[in-house]
Amino acid sequence: MVRNKKYDVAIIGAGISGIFASYELMISDPSMKVVLIEQGQPVSKRSCPIIRGATESCIGCDPCAIMRGFGGAGAFSDGKFNFTTLFGGWLNEYISDRELMRLIEYVDGINVSFGATTDVFSTDTPEADVIRRKAIALDLHLMDAKCKHLGTERNRDLLATQFEWLSKRIEVLCDTRVEEIVVLPDGSFELESSAGTINCEYLVAAPGRSGAEWFSKQCQKLKLVMINNQVDLGLRVELPAIVFKEITDAMYEAKLLYRTARYKDVVRTFCMNPYGYVVTENTDGIITANGHSYTDPSMRSENTNFALLVSNRFTTPFNEPYQYGKRIASLSNMLGGGIMVQRFGDLMDGRRTNAHRLPQGFVKPTLNATPGDLSLVLPKRHLDNIIEMIQVLDRLAPGTANQDTLLYGVEVKFYSARISLTNELETMIPNFFAIGDGAGITRGLSQAGASGVHAARAVLRRKGVIQ
d(CA 31, CA 268): 45
Across 175-194, average pLDDT: 97
C-beta contacts of 159-164 below 8 A and 24+ residues apart: 159/19, 159/43, 159/70, 159/71, 159/75, 160/43, 160/44, 161/114, 161/115, 162/19, 162/23, 162/114, 163/42, 163/43, 163/44, 163/70, 163/71
Strand ranges (E), 28-93: 34-37, 80-83
- Which band of pLDDT confidence, cut at 50, 70 and 90, is reported for residue 72? confident
DSSP one-letter code for 246: H
Q: What's the pLDDT at 438?
A: 85
d(CA 208, CA 39): 11
Say if residue 118's pLDDT is above 90.
yes
Alpha helices in 51-151 (DSSP H): 97-113, 126-136
d(CA 380, CA 378): 6
Across 294-322, average pLDDT: 84
Q: What are phi and psi of 451, to 5 degrees?
A: -65, -35
**What is the percent of the chain with per-residue pLDDT over 70, rounded to a whole number?**
93
Q: What's the pLDDT at 311?
A: 82
Lowest mean pLDDT among 284-288, 362-366, 386-390: 284-288
- Report the chain's C-alpha Rg in angstroms: 22
Are β-strands 406-413 and 80-83 bridged in parallel, bridged antiparallel, or unpaired? unpaired
3-state helix, strand, coil in the chain (%, to 5): 35, 25, 40
Q: Considering only CA atoms, which of 275, 266, 270, 223 is closest in space to residue 245?
A: 275
- Which band of pLDDT confidence, cut at 50, 70 and 90, is reported for residue 228? low
d(CA 142, CA 136): 8
d(CA 391, CA 410): 19
Say if residue 2's pLDDT is above 60.
no
Who has greater pLDDT, 365 or 66? 365
Q: Mind listing the domains of the chain with CATH numbers?
A: 5-119+150-227+417-462 (3.50.50.60), 230-413 (no CATH)
Who has greater pLDDT, 374 or 444? 374
Across 250-259, average pLDDT: 95
Say if residue 150's pLDDT is above 80.
yes
Q: What's the pLDDT at 446?
A: 96
- Which band of pLDDT confidence, cut at 50, 70 and 90, is reported for residue 402? very high
- Which band of pLDDT confidence, cut at 50, 70 and 90, is reported for residue 233? very high
User: Which of 37-51, 187-201, 314-328, 434-448 has the largest mean confidence?
Assistant: 187-201
- Which band of pLDDT confidence, cut at 50, 70 and 90, is reported for residue 114? very high
Who has greater pLDDT, 319 or 206? 206
Mean pLDDT taken over the chain: 91
Across 49-59, average pLDDT: 63
Across 242-269, average pLDDT: 96
Say if residue 55's pLDDT is above 80.
no
Q: What's the pLDDT at 318?
A: 65
What does the pLDDT look like over 329-354, one tens digit per residue? 898 899 988 999 999 999 999 999 99
Contacts of 69 (CB under 8 A, 6+ apart): 14, 38, 39, 40, 41, 42, 43, 45, 46, 63, 75, 174
Whats the size of the chain, residue-wise? 467
Q: What's the pLDDT at 67?
A: 76
What does the pLDDT look like over 350-382, one tens digit per residue? 999 999 999 999 999 999 999 999 999 999 999
Say if residue 1's pLDDT is above 70.
no
Contact assessment for residue 83 and residue 68, using Cβ atoms and an 8 Å cutoff: no
Q: Which phi-psi region, left, alpha or beta, contains residue 420 (left: φ > 0; alpha: ψ -120 to 50)? A: beta
**Distances, alpha carbon 28 to alpha carbons 170, 463, 464, in Å:** 13, 11, 11
Q: What's the pLDDT at 3?
A: 56
Say if residue 96's pLDDT is above 60.
yes
Across 87-98, average pLDDT: 94
Q: What's the pLDDT at 405?
A: 98
What does the pLDDT look like over 19-42, one tens digit per residue? 999 999 999 999 999 999 999 999
Q: Considering only CA atoms, which of 209, 204, 236, 261 is closest in space to residue 73?
A: 209
Say if residue 53's pLDDT is above 70.
no
- Which band of pLDDT confidence, cut at 50, 70 and 90, is reported for residue 277? very high
Say if residue 208's pLDDT is above 80.
yes
- Which band of pLDDT confidence, cut at 50, 70 and 90, is reported for residue 77? confident
Across 153-161, average pLDDT: 90
Q: Considering only CA atoms, which of 48, 73, 76, 74 is closest in space to residue 62?
A: 48
d(CA 130, CA 149): 22
Alpha helices in 366-427 (DSSP H): 380-396
d(CA 146, CA 121): 6
Say if residue 9's pLDDT is above 90.
yes
- Which band of pLDDT confidence, cut at 50, 70 and 90, is reported for residue 18? very high
Q: Considering only CA atoms, which of 218, 198, 377, 384 is closest in space to residue 289?
A: 377
Q: pTM here?
A: 0.88
